[in-house]
Structure 1
Amino acid sequence: MIRTLLRVLGREYAQPLRRTVALMTMTAVAEGLSYALVVPVLRELFGNTPENAWPWLIGFGGAIAVYAALRYISDLSGFHIGTALLRGMYHRLGDHLARLPVGWYSTSRLGEVSVLASRGVLDAMSVIAHLLAPFVSACVTPLTIVGVMLVFDWQMGLAALVAVPIVAAIQISTGRSMAAEDAEREERDHEATGRVIEFLQAQPVLRAGGRTTERFRLLDDSLQEVERASRRSTLSALPGAVGLTLTVQAVFTALLVLGTYLALYGDLGVAETLTILVLAARCADPLLSLTDIGGKLRGARSVLARLDTVLSTEPLPEAAEPIRPLRHDLEFDSVVFRHDDRTVIDNASLSVPQGQRLAVVGPSGAGKSTLLQLLARFYDVDAGTVRVGGVDVRDIDPEVLMARIAIVFQNVYLFDGTIEENVRLGRPDATDAEVRAAATAARLDEVTERLPDGWAANVGEGGALLSGGERQRVSIARALLKNAPIVLLDEVTSALDPVNEAAVHEGIERLMAGRTVVTVAHRMRTVQRADRVVFLDGGRVVEEGSHEELLRRGGRYADFWNISMVPVSREPESTGQ
């Protein structure tokens, strides 16, 4: 487990952790050695001159004081290093997640990462602060005491030593048998959590369909599976706990019998016998605590394994000598991109001269949004090349690339904060005047004037306190403030009402002015102002040209345009006659 912990933490934290473990080991050894002074204390007390026990008793007190000081220092070191590692782990996990390709973030992984980034990291790092010292003490202190017993009487020490491999075997066997049960319980917990969230989110649909009873049953079944998994996990841990208790008690009983025999018929004194039995009893408590500590460590090991898996995921490679593009034209050169064994972009080639606008249209699932993601290097292509300013995006520093691109998605995500804070994400060092100018250009000022708190109005998690059109205005203001030379638009008006659509279009026009633009269009009216139009189907460029040219050809684009522009027919109203 220590190796996994060191691998997860990284090299910079390995040395402080090793020092802490070494200090905890010294503390456990000091505790075990301090009990060696109990032997001369009891020997003198049971001897002819009990007053001679005072020097040994003072020495024992001094040894306990040294152990207490070491224990304080080691525990404090554990808390300090645990806190430092917790902060460092959050930074390391956050930095690593920011470098992973967007395609890695599937729905299931989002939930897993959410748990890891909250409770998971805290549980893993609490091992150092709360579990490491008791675990080291439970292992090292009894071994040290057994060593002391061997020094004073090899027969009693050897009898105590027999328990070591038995206890180790029980712990290993329990850990192996519990691994499968723990994994199943964790899976059932995740499933039950998903059912609860699903049940809460689906309330409108379920109530409209009158199926709340069925959903209750599904949720109840899931919770019953959690109960069954927890019961199986508890029962599988029971043999190990009982076995460990019986082993400790059996060894102590054997030592009692052997000590009595040696005291009566051997050369072992009563004081030595009593002292060794006291030492044996002192071994019992930490050994019995291994059951509880082992369960907590298994949980922490599971979290560490998941953290290790995430941190071992390779991010997109970065060029050793990155190239800075001097132009802002865009090019796809025979690009092929596959996702989940499906070819999304198939040998696509197209170009966008600097300062011009390209509209990408086509049926759903044609790969339109994927083109934007490949330009922003959310993914790497499987074949071909994506270029910005004539430079392969894989040869551009990621920060330099993103500084040149402003992206406005259809589904806007806002961070839980004020409107101004969300706009400033486009350029944090912008002046107040620049922020206000960008907001006015996006007609966001109309929104802030309506809200009681104005610019300081909180948008809620994900922007939940704003409407879709208001979120889009914040997103456009953010992109305007960034002032990037390349703009990528994933149809931002398809779900807006006419008033918000007009406002957003006005902001988009200001955003696109003088920039290289690629826009994915679902509403065909938005493509007429583009310099060129590409019709995409099945990941292939089927047609390319201006809007007028493509209409004159009468091909796929013309058919798509004619269908999209046909007004929806209305049924005649009934006269009631």
Structure 2
Amino acid sequence: MIRTLLRVLGHEYARPVRRTMALMTAAAVAEGLSYALLVPVLRALLGGTPEDARPWLAAFGAAVAGYAVLRYIADLSGFRVGTTLLRGVYHRLGDHLARLPIGWYGAGRVGEVSVMAGHGVLQAMSAIAHLLAPFVNACVTPLTIVAVMLAFDWRMGLAALAAVPIVAAIQIRTGRSMDAADAERHARGREASARVVEYVQAQPVLRAGGRSAERFRLLDDALRDVRRASRRTVLTALPGMVGLTLVVQAIFTVLLALGAYLALGGRIGAAELLTVLVLAARCADPLLALTDIGGQVRGARSELARLDAVLRTRPLPEATRPVRPEHHGLEFDSVVFRRGDRTVLDGLDLSVPEGRRLAIVGPSGAGKSTLLQLIARFYDVDGGAVRVGGADVRAIGTEDLMARIAIVFQDVYLFDDTIEENIRLGRPDADPAEVRAAAAAAGLDEVIERLPAGWATGVGEGGALLSGGERQRVSIARALLKDAPIVLLDEVTSALDPVNEAAVHDGIERLMAGRTVVMVAHRLRTVRRADRIAFLDGGRIVEEGTHEELLRRGGRYADYWNLSMAPANPV
């Protein structure tokens, strides 16, 4: 587990972790050795001159005090290192998640990451602060006590030593049988978390369909699976718990019988017998706790393994010697891109000169949004190259590339903060006058005027307190504030009412002015003023030209245009 922990955190944390383990081990050994002083104490107390026990009692008290100091230092080190590790793993996990390709965030990832970042990280990092000391104590202190027994009477020591391989075998067998049960419980828990998130997000749909919590079958089934998996986990752990208890009790009984036999035969004294029995009783508590502690350690180890798997997921590689684009034109050179077994783009060739506007149209699933995502390097291509300013996007530094691109998506996500702070995400160092100018250019100032707290109005989680059109205006203001030379627009007005669409269009026109623009649109009215239009279908450009040229050709674009301009059928 420690190796996995250091791999998750990085080896710069190796020294404090090893120092903490050494302190915990020293404290456990000191506890076991301190019990060795019970023999001279009991010999003196049971002998003819009990006052001879005073120096031994003082030595025993000093040994216990030394153990207490070591335990305090070890526990304090554990808490401090655990806190440091917790902070370190959150930073590393957050930085790594930000660098993973967008394709990694598939179905079920929201629930998985939310559980991992919350309960999972806390459980994994609590191992150092709360579990490592009891675990080391449960393993090392009994072994030290067995060594003390061997020093006083080899027969009693060997009898106690016989329990070591039996206890180890039970722990190993229990751990192996629990691994599968723990993995199943985690999988069921992850599925249930995803279903809970889905249930909360789908409330409008569920209520519109008259579905209550009891009738949401997917969530009900997931929760039942969690209950069954938890029950199987308990039943799997039960034989190990019972077996360990029986072994510990049996060994204690054997030591009691053997000690009585040796004492009655005059082979050991009463002081040695009492000491051995006290030591045996002291061994029982940590050994009996070993099953519970071992289960918690296995849980922490499983979470560490899952964290390790995420952190080992390779982010998009960074160029060792990043290049800077010479201009802001765009080019797709024989681009091939696949998702699983499906080829989304197949040998696509396309170029957008600097300062020109390209509109991408085509049927759903043709790869239009994917084309924008490849420009922003949300994914890497499987073949060919995407170039910005003549440089392959894979050879441009991520920060440099993203500084040149402003993206406005159809689905706008706003953070649960004020409108001003959401706009400022476009350029955090912008002054208030620049933020307000961007908002006015996006037509957002009229929205702010009618909000109760104006600029300080909170937008709610995801921007839920604003309408779709208002969220879109915030997104455009954010892009205007960024003032990037390349603008990517993805279905910006497809779900807006006419009033908001007109306001958003004004903001978009200001955003596009003088910039290289690639826009994706279903509403073909929005693409008429593009310098060129490309019709994408089957992963290839099947037509390209101006609006008038494509209409004259009478091809796929003309069919789309005529269909979009046709009056709605009367009811």
> What TM-score do the two structures reach when normalised by structure 1?
0.96
SS in structure 2 of the partner of residue 332 of structure 1? strand
CA distance in 2, matches of 1:546, 1:128: 65
CA distance in 1, matches of 2:211, 2:72: 59
1:43 correspondence with 2:38: no
SS in structure 2 of the partner of residue 107 of structure 1? coil
Q: What does 1:125-524 align with in structure 2 at a 5 Å threshold?
A: 125-206=125-206, 208-210=208-210, 212=212, 215=215, 219-524=219-524
Classify 1:461/1:67 alpha carbon distance in 2 versus 1 (closer, same or farther; 3 Å): same
Q: What does 1:509-548 align with in structure 2 at a 5 Å threshold?
A: 509-548=509-548
CA distance in 1, matches of 2:391, 2:219: 53
CA distance in 1, matches of 2:134, 2:370: 52
SS in structure 1 of the partner of residue 381 of structure 2? coil
**CA contact under 8 A between 2:412 and 2:471: conserved in structure 1?**
yes
Query: Which amino acid is 1:418 matched to?
Result: T
Q: Give the equivalent residue in structure 1 for 2:33.
A: 33
Report sequence identity in percent.
78
SS in structure 1 of the partner of residue 533 of structure 2? strand
SS in structure 2 of the partner of residue 348 of structure 1? strand
Unaligned runs of 5+ in 2: none
**CA contact under 8 A between 1:170 and 1:244: conserved in structure 2?**
yes
**CA contact under 8 A between 2:112 and 2:194: conserved in structure 1?**
no
Q: What's the CA shift for 1:209?
A: 4.3
1:14 correspondence with 2:8: no
- The CA deviation string for residues 144-185 of structure 1, in whole angstroms up to 9 with x for no partner, is 111111111111111111111111111111111111122222
CA distance in 2, matches of 1:193, 1:101: 23
Q: Give the equivalent residue in structure 1 for 2:62.
A: 62
292-301 or 77-86, which deviates more: 292-301
Query: Which amino acid is 1:405 matched to?
Result: I
Classify 1:216/1:108 alpha carbon distance in 2 versus 1 (closer, same or farther; 3 Å): closer
After superposition, the CA RMSD in angstroms is 1.5
449-458 or 205-214, which deviates more: 205-214
CA distance in 1, matches of 2:527, 2:226: 53
**CA contact under 8 A between 1:476 and 1:507: conserved in structure 2?**
yes
- The CA deviation string for residues 109-153 of structure 1, in whole angstroms up to 9 with x for no partner, is 221111111221111111111111111111111111111111111
CA distance in 2, matches of 1:15, 1:250: 41
Query: Which amino acid is 1:180 matched to?
Result: A
Classify 1:506/1:220 alpha carbon distance in 2 versus 1 (closer, same or farther; 3 Å): closer
User: What is the number of equivalent residue pairs in this alignment?
Assistant: 571
**CA contact under 8 A between 2:115 and 2:190: conserved in structure 1?**
no
SS in structure 2 of the partner of residue 487 of structure 1? strand
Query: Which amino acid is 2:159 matched to?
Result: A
- The CA deviation string for residues 484-522 of structure 1, in whole angstroms up to 9 with x for no partner, is 000000011000011111111000000000000000111
Q: What's the CA shift for 1:236?
A: 1.2
CA distance in 2, matches of 1:147, 1:395: 63
Q: What's the CA shift for 1:191?
A: 3.4
CA distance in 1, matches of 2:124, 2:163: 30
Classify 1:4/1:489 alpha carbon distance in 2 versus 1 (closer, same or farther; 3 Å): same
**CA contact under 8 A between 1:199 and 1:215: conserved in structure 2?**
no
- The CA deviation string for residues 306-360 of structure 1, in whole angstroms up to 9 with x for no partner, is 1011000001111111001121010000000001111001100010100000000
CA distance in 2, matches of 1:216, 1:343: 35
**CA contact under 8 A between 2:159 and 2:255: conserved in structure 1?**
yes
Q: What's the CA shift for 1:221?
A: 4.4
Query: Which amino acid is 2:270 matched to?
Result: V
Classify 1:102/1:208 alpha carbon distance in 2 versus 1 (closer, same or farther; 3 Å): closer
Q: Give the equivalent residue in structure 2 for 1:97.
A: 97
Classify 1:220/1:532 alpha carbon distance in 2 versus 1 (closer, same or farther; 3 Å): closer
CA distance in 1, matches of 2:199, 2:215: 7
CA distance in 1, matches of 2:328, 2:198: 45
Q: What's the CA shift for 1:570?
A: 1.9
> What TM-score do the two structures reach when normalised by structure 2?
0.97
CA distance in 1, matches of 2:225, 2:490: 42
Q: Give the equivalent residue in structure 2 for 1:80.
A: 80
**CA contact under 8 A between 1:335 and 1:385: conserved in structure 2?**
yes
CA distance in 2, matches of 1:402, 1:383: 22
Query: Which amino acid is 2:167 matched to?
Result: V
**CA contact under 8 A between 1:355 and 1:517: conserved in structure 2?**
yes
Query: Which amino acid is 1:147 matched to?
Result: A
CA distance in 2, matches of 1:283, 1:20: 23
CA distance in 2, matches of 1:216, 1:362: 36
Q: What's the CA shift for 1:462?
A: 0.8
Query: Which amino acid is 1:365 matched to?
Result: G
Q: Give the equivalent residue in structure 2 for 1:574.
A: none
SS in structure 1 of the partner of residue 48 of structure 2? coil
CA distance in 2, matches of 1:198, 1:398: 32
